[in-house]
Structure 1
Amino acid sequence: MVHALGTPKRHPQSGIYLFRKRVPERLKDFIGKSEIKFSLQTRDPVVARIRNLEEMARLARAWSEIGGSVVDGTRHAAICVDCKTAGSGAAAAAALAAGALPPPSAPAATATANTPVALRPIFESYAKEAELAPSTVKRWSPVLDRLIGHLGHDDAAAITRADIVAWKDALLDGDMSNVTVRDVYVAAVKATLQYAVDQGRLAENPAAGVKVRVREAPVERDKGFDGKEAETILSATLRKPSDKISVEMAAARRWVPWICAYTGARVNEITPLTRRDFVLRDGIWMIRIRAENNKGRKFREVPLHSHLIEQGLLDYVKTRGSRPLFYDPRRSRGGKDSNPHHKKVGERLAEWVRSLGIDDRVAPNHGWRHRFSSIARVVAMPEDVRNIVQGHAGTKVADRYGETWPLVALREIEKLPRYAVERET
């Protein structure tokens, strides 16, 4: 259900993460259910983990306040706890006021108020235990340094809610966007301090409940490329490459947009591909997208559209031997885990697409993913197949097809109309 570190369950169809927690046996009659389950309102695994930890803490506090007391059956309905919002303890407090529950005994102290708790080592322990992605560690480390600089100390035990609010306000006053403050700065601190609470180093998380209001951005066009933009990019892939770029980068420009157009994959799922990621299943060529390169951390196999094969993609794949298709590790300039070479390829592709005059309101790489979804609906590709192909569905959904998956997936992929573009002279 929920992993030890608070990684929540992802809904197999919607991709939205869920909070799930079994109700202790002693409280089932009082609460009226055996499991608490509700949406965390996000598809982002990092945000979901933070929200899950916060809800776990709130629920634990509410249950500890109830203290396992037996509730009189005639008064049960009047004071039943809404466990989705019980984190504030409001429901338990109401029950106490009504005389339905005896005052809870004081919980055993898990942290000493006068014991300093260094913030940086807490973050390092959290990053190691939670196995945060190197890119997340790189992004969050300066956040902790900035908080320490603002506070003038690194003692997590001395941080108050007012400190976090003041820091948040200072960031916003410094013209940092509300989204960045919410999703990077406050999120990083919340997660780190919650880890300290979970480890018994802090009594409570002073950042819990601190929110940043974000105004919804106006949507003035579709997220995916339109037909003209798709034609512009794909036509450009057929141009003779510049002598100033590497063979691998030329190949990335030539093939990555086409692969994304016919698979709906993320660019950074395609740029790490090697020859071993092209597999033959029942006579059908498939691309195996590895779990390590997949946002959902699950591998999937997607059939190659016949148009890709006819253009010679497999011929190029064979020329690479054991080397990556779109970069040469031997020419790496000290690439780090936090910014691996294949991600740099994606960044350079985005710059190239921008140079073609594509509307800057469309993500230069992710636009293919949205376009694929739109076209898949037009050709009546079943939603569950589309979700599997794009990596939105869980393994249970994919397992329903079993050995028939290659045939089913190819049938649906071949429904996609071919892009008819001419080579520029």
Structure 2
Amino acid sequence: MALSMARPSRDKKTGVWYLRQRPPADIKAKVLGGSVTIPIGDGFRVIKVGETVEASLGTKDANVAKERHAQADATLRKLWEAHRHGPQRLTQKQVQALAGKLYFLLAETMGDDPGRPETWLNVIITNAKAKAGRFGRAQLRFGTESEIKAAAIEERFGGWVDILLSKENLVVDSETRTRLLNAVAFSFDAAALRLAKNADGDYSPDAAASRFPAWEAPLAVPDKTPSLPKDKITAWDLFERWEKANQEMKSEGTIKRYRASWRSLSAFTKDKDVRALTGDDIHEWAVDRRDRESVSPKSINQNDLVAASSVFKWAMGRERRLVTDNPAAGLSLDEPRVTSKREKTFREKEWKAILTAASNVVIRDDNSGLDHACRWTPWLAAYSGARIRELCFLDAEDIRMEEGTWVMDLRQTKTGKARTVPLHEHLVEQGFIEFAQSKRKGPLFYNPKRHKKGASTPPDEIRAQEVADWVRGLGVLPTTVAPTHGWRGTFKTRAIGADMDVRIRDAIAGHSARSVARDYEQPPVGMLAEALKRFPRYET
């Protein structure tokens, strides 16, 4: 699928095309809740800035929509850049010159056929009412006389000021806006007076035209933030920078998941600069993952888009500033509603079959460790709720005695938080301690000498998948039930029946605390061991 630039989106019900754009993350706090004035066709629209800026393009014609979208999108991007630099102060000459643009716009475009003189005299009268505070909603508000006048002037002339600023891609300070409102009010009167004369047949030279100086745009405000790199940065370039910077901070599993997602994004965007990517581009990639690569929307939302957003957010950091926007922020695909056909835990006949098969595994003398993994990891998971991969990472040195209790140290976990878990007495009776001590040192369930150096998949992950395949091969589980992850729910469900406190259950299984306060409650090994004594045995 070809990569496209930002493009309009079509309302499925009405067929009308829309502009939708997210404000950049680095200025979101500045612009959220405010408004922007953007060109739509021959006019201008005032749009409120929320999580997205959304405006109807006023057409069902795709070609017209594309043209209007390009104009509005370009204006928005220039306005975002102006907000990055911050509000500017215009000189008196610049204020008068900008107000003069309105004068010439009205006087020159309507002078050939201005209508009746009374029309323009009424405009002057209405302007005078606004300047006196007797216009629109302002005259109904409470406040001082000066506050009411200011509100009326803003209501009458503010829209014209917004258009003038939008056309010049300017963001000005409050003092400049006040002066500009008064200047626009004057130029509006001057234009209306000239048009009234034109309507009466008077086209003599207009002295008012000469009072407005030529417009000279203010010099760009120097950007004090670090400049963006000049060289092109592809998606893969960006990921490699992130990976190098996060080797010591992110787990191997996280880096591997992110690498897979970014490899797909890189293949989709090819050699395009990441700073040119938009939310539409990222959404197209997600759709491509779903439709062409057959990845589920749930997996894309939880893995791919999280990986993309996380790396972009890192790249936006002030000390790096590789990009100015996070095009993946807030994106997600619609997920089809899935009705669960059954619980995620193992039923009694299922866990009995798995544990019986594990007990009957024949240990071959091939020194691979797979037979030992199939023999012991299901039982270890059944009595701890640990993930099979966490168990496959165990070394012989991780099985030790603490406070008179045999424990296992789970050093590599999904959450990155190591934990120590007591071993149930049933495991000791089955001979697990003797097996671990026979290994003396090194991995219990795989042979590191058989693992290729530099392989992208670590040996414990490979072994965990092989155990899952072995369980699936027993033919005792429906396809909707995970062959190894089901032990987590099974352990915690049986723990409820043993009246085990939720904090104990979470500590053993490695589930995160649900609150900051709970995070301070770390049950010691002795407390965990005492609770585990009440945990019922699996009788096969």
Q: How does 1:135-284 map to 2 (within 5 A)?
A: 135-141=253-259, 143-174=261-292, 175-198=294-317, 199-241=320-362, 243=364, 246=367, 248-284=369-405
Q: Name the amino acid aligned to 2:307.
A: A
Q: How does 1:239-388 map to 2 (within 5 A)?
A: 239-241=360-362, 243=364, 246=367, 248-290=369-411, 293-330=412-449, 332-334=450-452, 336=454, 338-359=456-477, 360-388=479-507
Equivalent pair of 2:363/2:372 in contact (CA under 8 Å) = no
Kept in 2, the 8 Å contact 1:116–1:155? The answer is yes
* Alpha-carbon contact 2:289-2:300 (below 8 Å) kept: yes
Deviation at 1:321, TM superposition (A): 0.7
Mapped pair 1:122 → 2:268: no
Equivalent residues of 2:407, 2:422 under 8 A apart = yes
- SS of the aligned residue for 1:285 comes to strand
Number of positions where the alignment pairs a residue of Structure 1 with one of Structure 2: 336
| Preserved contact between residue 66 and residue 104 of structure 1 (Cα < 8 Å) | no
Partner SS for 2:383: helix
Q: Which moved more, 1:411-420 or 1:197-206?
A: 197-206
User: How far is the alpha carbon of 1:339 from its aligned partner?
Assistant: 1.5
- SS of 1:268's partner is helix
**Residue 212 and residue 285 in structure 1: after superposition, are their counterparts in 2 closer, same or farther (change >3 A)?**
same
Q: Please, which runs of 5 or more residues in structure 1 have no aligned partner?
A: 1-54, 68-84, 91-97
Q: What pairs with 1:1-12 in structure 2 (closer than 5 Å)?
A: none
Identity between Structure 1 and Structure 2 (%): 27
Q: Hey, what's the Cα distance between the residues in 2 that align with 1:202 and 1:319?
A: 54
Deviation at 1:87, TM superposition (A): 5.4
Shift of 1:288: 1.4
Deviation at 1:256, TM superposition (A): 1.0
| 1:259 to 1:134, Cα distance in 2 relative to 1, 3 A | closer
Q: CA 1:114 to 1:158, structure 2 compared with 1: closer, same or farther past 3 Å?
A: farther
The residue type equivalent to 1:357 in the other structure is G
Partner in structure 1 of residue 195 of structure 2: none
How far residue 247 of structure 1 moved from its aligned partner, in angstroms, is: 6.3
Conserved? CA contact 1:280–1:286, under 8 Å: yes
The alpha-carbon distance between structure 1 residues 159 and 232, as it changes in their structure 2 partners (threshold 3 A), is same
Cα deviation, 1:156-211, whole Å, max 9, x if unaligned, reads 12222332233333333324322233333333332333333223222222232322
**Aligned residues of 1:111 and 1:203 also touching (Cα < 8 A):** no
Q: Is the 8 A contact 1:251 1:326 kept in 2?
A: yes
Q: Output the CA distance in 1 between the equivalents of 2:297 and 2:222.
A: 37
TM-score by length of 2: 0.55
Give 1 or 2 for the bigger CA radius of gyration: 2
Q: Give the Cα–Cα distance (whole angstroms) in 1 for the partners of residues 222 and 495 of structure 2.
A: 55
CA distance in 1, matches of 2:327, 2:403: 56
Matched, 1:419 2:538: yes
**CA distance change for structure 1 residues 145 and 252 in 2, over 3 Å: closer, same or farther?**
closer
Query: CA 1:233/1:113 → structure 2, altered by over 3 Å: closer, same or farther?
Result: closer
Residues 301 and 138 (structure 1), Cα distance of their counterparts in 2 relative to 1, 3 Å cut: closer
Q: Report if aligned partners of 2:394, 2:443 keep a CA contact under 8 Å in 1.
A: yes
- Cα pair 1:223 1:363 within 8 Å, conserved: yes
Conserved 8 A contact 1:134-1:338: no
Q: Which amino acid aligns with 1:348?
A: E
1:276 corresponds to which letter in structure 2?
E
Secondary structure, aligned partner of 1:263 = coil
Partner of 1:61: 27
Deviations 1:88-133 (A, max 9, x none): 599xxxxxxx99xx96698946656986333322211112223344
Q: Give structure 2 stretches of 5+ with no counterpart.
A: 1-21, 34-48, 55-150, 155-170, 175-220
SS of 2:369's equivalent in the other structure is helix
